[in-house]
Amino acid sequence: MIDPETRLALVHAAIAKASKRAGRPTDATTLIAVSKTKTVEEISPLIAAGQRDFGENRVQEAQSKWPALIAVTPDIRLHLVGQLQSNKAEDAVALFDVIHSVDRASLVNALGKAQDKVGRRPSCFLQVNIGDEDQKGGCAIADIAPLLSRSGAVGLNIIGLMTVPPADIEPAPYFALLGKLARDHGLDQLSMGMSGDYETAIMLGATHIRVGTALFGGRG
């Protein structure tokens, strides 16, 4: 068993190496430790080692784990990386600093309302279904412009694009496409890259990588 501090150091080293090869500063990429299914006991050593950005994919699970941890370490930033139901928008706005899974007009509207009610304004990514897969979350490429315009109308702060590329094929073309789509729409943040492909994502301009397994081990 490799301990969590060692895993974190190995991921930091890989980020530094990929950044150097890409000619980008190491701190241009935010490492989000995706802690879904992991317990407070498994998460705490990473906080102690200095990790501050964490990702969860379910609002309810995050509510059960994070408020107590954030009370002790207030500079933790919490990222929602999983699909969000509109009826959970208020809870999400109240807890998360960044929401990576905005992908439809009904959710944009719900988040806009939730922000006004809760009095918080998380940064958001539009999630794009880059491989046009039936089962996947994310909007169609053609929906990016209308969703950005709707977001502007309700005051949602969209800072970039997020994607999960199709499994088991080379992700680089999809990462490159997401970068082009972001530039075309005047957005400069890219949430892309997971344990298996974050170095490739960094080469192609990722500003946020979402890493679970490489930091915490498998999810059983």
Ligand X SMILES: *Cc1c(COP(=O)(O)O)cnc(C)c1O
User: Could you tell me which of 149, 152, 176, 215 has the C-alpha nearest to residue 15?
Assistant: 215
Please, which residue, 83 or 113, has the CB nearer to ligand X? Answer: 83
Report the run of H or E that residue 158 belongs to, with start and end.
strand 157-162
Instruction: Point out which residues bind ligand X (CB under 6 A).
Output: 34, 36, 57, 81-82, 164, 194-196, 210-214
Phi, psi of 50, deg, nearest 5:
105, -5
| Maximal CA-CA distance, the chain | 50
Please, which residue, 59 or 164, has the CB nearer to ligand X? Answer: 164
Please, which residue, 7 or 210, has the CB nearer to ligand X? Answer: 210
User: Could you tell me which of 73, 88, 165, 156 has the C-alpha nearest to residue 127?
Assistant: 165
Q: From the CB of 151, what's the least distance to ligand X, in Å?
A: 20
Q: From the CB of 113, what's the least distance to ligand X, in Å?
A: 24
Q: Can you read off the two tokens belonging to residue 110?
A: 């719900």
Q: From the CB of 170, what's the least distance to ligand X, in Å?
A: 16
Q: Can you read off the two tokens belonging to residue 54?
A: 């964490």
Residue type, 121: R
3-state DSSP helix/strand/coil % of the chain, to nearest 5: 50, 15, 35
User: Could you tell me which of 89, 156, 92, 149 has the C-alpha nearest to residue 121?
Assistant: 156
Please, which residue, 150 or 210, has the CB nearer to ligand X? Answer: 210
Q: From the CB of 164, what's the least distance to ligand X, in Å?
A: 5
Q: From the CB of 153, what's the least distance to ligand X, in Å?
A: 27
Please, which residue, 86 or 195, has the CB nearer to ligand X? Answer: 195
Please, which residue, 97 or 113, has the CB nearer to ligand X? Answer: 97
Q: From the CB of 13, what's the least distance to ligand X, in Å?
A: 17
- Across 35-121, the runs of DSSP E, i.e. the strands, are 53-56, 77-80, 98-102
